[in-house]
Chain A
Amino acid sequence: MSMRAAIAGFVHDGDTVCLEGFTHLIPTAAGHEIIRQGRRDLTVVRMTADIVVDQMLAAGCVTRLVSSFVGNSSAGSLGELRRRVESADPAPLAFEEYSHYGMVCRYLAGSQRLPFYPLRSYGGSDLPSVNSDLRKVTSPYPGPDGESEQIYVVPPVNPDVTIIHAQRADRSGNTQMWGLTGIQAEAVYAADKAVVVVEEIVDDEVIRSDPNRTLVPAHAVDAVVRCPRGAHPSFAQGYYDRDNAFYRAWSHISKDPQRLRDWLDEWVRGTADHAEYVEKLGEEFWAGLAVGEALSEPVNYGRRL
């Protein structure tokens, strides 16, 4: 399926959209297509809200954000996000703040259709005072000392659609990832629909030669989109490196609202699709992010003689 068709078909105005990928394999190209198609009033769920979220905010796609870290990695700030939160400029942003494990537990509850998930965090924190979904319950079982135990719980998250990026999948959606695998599989299972964007679509035999590397089986996937280099400026282990220079540049671009909007007009709205964005960056640029080979040792799955 093309990215255009996948976003048109699976992301609607007002939807709750989860974009996961912990620094690695961030589905940036999907975020850009959401901007191109002008989606509005989205709730974005993402543990580490970073550049692609800042871009979607600036494009006016997002009214609510659910996150546990809102920063431009270690490279500085997200200008648009800060303007939205600090001065409601150009519009207020509803923001639900969690910790990382709080978000992980929301995905775990969501993926397993549980009403809540307990975690040993938040005791004494001010986070529950600004997020009424962080609630405390009494454990139905006695603690190690025989006493009843109080513990915080988080509610499930069940996005309308989860979009992740991965290295490869087969045509039916069996998706293989390696390197940092974060929370993507749980985020897919938590969603009503799931779109997987991959660097390449491979033959069934490639996937079946290493089934343990399939982190998302086809039954959980509704659409597979081939979109090489679709995680830029983040990286795809073994395919291309992180564009650290762009992360640093983003702090400057996003600091100036006009410059940010000009950037979106040129690089997102001014390109027909991600292939054109890739081409506009140029082969010399991509050569700078190329990586060498470091192959894993094959494993022997064995076969009955």
Chain B
Amino acid sequence: MTTTAPGALTPSELLSVVASRELAARRTVFAGIGLPTLATELARLTVAPDIEVVYESGVCGAHPSQLPETIADAVLITGAEAVISMPMLFGCVLQGGHIDIGFLGAAQIDRWGSLNTSVIGDWDSPSVRLPGSGGGVEVMANSREVFVVMRRHDPRSFTAELDFCTTPGPDRALAEGIRSLGAGVTRVITELGILAREGVGDELRLVAVHPGVTVERVRAATGWDLRVADTVEEVPPPTEEELRLLREDVDPDRVYLR
């Protein structure tokens, strides 16, 4: 396994490659556009050739002629295997339990993998109004597992108390007596490393760091007393082949690779 020269790697490339490896042997993925697109397309070329991406717009089995710019890009529809309505998508596909992995992002995440995508500050008079749930609440409640990719790893984003819980993990749901279909967040991928949890009752633990990142640095960047696995692995850096596929085949125009 050869690695590229340090410095040549962008954060998007690193996150995409690491996320793609986590998709090994997975079948159905509910994904948005951007980093999840890069990760799933790279996974298709490497560790998960049979992966099927379901987009929030209702597109299943897309065969786009170009890299899509949105989850609803016309190139996703032309040549797709199916395009379904919103009641089918959210009611039958997601709530019906057909999704292995959901991909989500968030402004804030807590130790149980619950997410805030609504507001920074108070909901009634926020300092920042974020886009809100979208389908995130449903992806979390109904996917077997959820992967979260966070571009920022700092104590404001990895917080002990969410400003607002838009998207609860199964622990929070269970506290209300409502059982979720899936395990909630099982992987959080950041520029510093990988956090993981098993499911209900388990909290996020640091399981891997990128080369050159110390455990102490990750703990300092996390807004709660972060648990650390007995053995913290070092994430293997992207291989030349992974980067070549990403740069030349997946996103040659660098639409998402920043």
Chain A residues proximal to chain B, CB less than 8 Å: 22-24, 47-48, 67-71, 73-74, 81-82, 85-88, 97-102, 104, 108, 119-127, 130, 136, 150-152, 179-183, 185-186, 235, 237, 241-242, 244, 291, 294
| Contact (A22, B57) CB under 8 Å given A179-B74, A291-B74 | yes
B107: Cβ under 8 A from any A Cβ: no
Is A181's CB under 8 angstroms from B83's CB?
A: yes
Is B86's CB under 8 angstroms from A123's CB?
A: no
Known: A119-B138, A237-B74, A237-B77. 15 other contacts (CB 8 A): A48-B134, A70-B131, A71-B131, A82-B129, A88-B125, A97-B118, A100-B56, A100-B90, A120-B95, A124-B172, A125-B166, A125-B167, A181-B83, A182-B85, A244-B70
Mark the stretch among B175-183, B202-210, B214-222 that contacts chain A: B175-183
**Residue among B69, B95, B129 making CB contact with A81, cutoff 8 Å:** B129
Is B77's CB under 8 angstroms from A124's CB?
A: no
Is A124's CB under 8 angstroms from B171's CB?
A: yes
How many interface residues does B have (CB within 8 Å)?
A: 61
Q: Which of A24, A68, A180 has the most CB of B within 10 A?
A: A180
The 6 closest A-B pairs by CB, nearest first: A124-B172, A123-B178, A124-B168, A23-B72, A123-B173, A71-B131
Is B138's CB under 8 angstroms from A100's CB?
A: yes
In whole angstroms, how far apart are the Cα atoms of A136 and B181 in the complex?
Answer: 18
Is B132's CB under 8 angstroms from A104's CB?
A: no
| Contact (A125, B172) CB under 8 Å given A74-B70, A182-B85, A183-B87 | yes
B229: Cβ under 8 A from any A Cβ: no
| Contact (A120, B133) CB under 8 Å given A22-B57, A244-B69 | no
Is A98's CB under 8 angstroms from B133's CB?
A: yes
Is A104's CB under 8 angstroms from B90's CB?
A: yes
Is B168's CB under 8 angstroms from A123's CB?
A: yes
In whole angstroms, how far apart are the Cα atoms of A24 and B72 in the complex?
Answer: 7
B127: Cβ under 8 A from any A Cβ: yes
Chain B residues proximal to chain A, CB less than 8 Å: 33-34, 56-59, 69-74, 77-79, 83, 85-87, 90-91, 94-95, 114, 118, 123-138, 141-142, 162, 164-178, 180-181
In whole angstroms, how far apart are the Cα atoms of A237 and B181 in the complex?
Answer: 35
The B contact surface, by secondary structure, is loop
**Residue among B71, B132, B178, B180 making CB contact with A67, cutoff 8 Å:** B132
Q: Which of A127, A150, A186 has the most CB of B within 10 A?
A: A127
| Contact (A126, B74) CB under 8 Å given A120-B142, A181-B83 | no
In whole angstroms, how far apart are the Cα atoms of A250 and B95 in the complex?
Answer: 34
| Contact (A180, B176) CB under 8 Å given A85-B126, A121-B141, A291-B74 | no
With a CB–CB cut-off of 8 A, which chain B residues contact A185? Answer: 85
Is A180's CB under 8 angstroms from B72's CB?
A: yes
With a CB–CB cut-off of 8 A, which chain B residues contact A101? Answer: 90-91, 94-95, 135, 137-138
Q: Which of B91, B137, B162, B175 has the most CB of A within 10 A?
A: B137
Shortest Cβ distance from B118 into A: residue:
A97
Is B78's CB under 8 angstroms from A294's CB?
A: yes
Q: Which of A69, A88, A242 has the most CB of B within 10 A?
A: A69
Shortest Cβ distance from B138 into A: residue:
A101
With a CB–CB cut-off of 8 A, which chain B residues contact A48? Answer: 134
Shortest A164–chain B CB gap in Å is 13
Is B136's CB under 8 angstroms from A99's CB?
A: yes
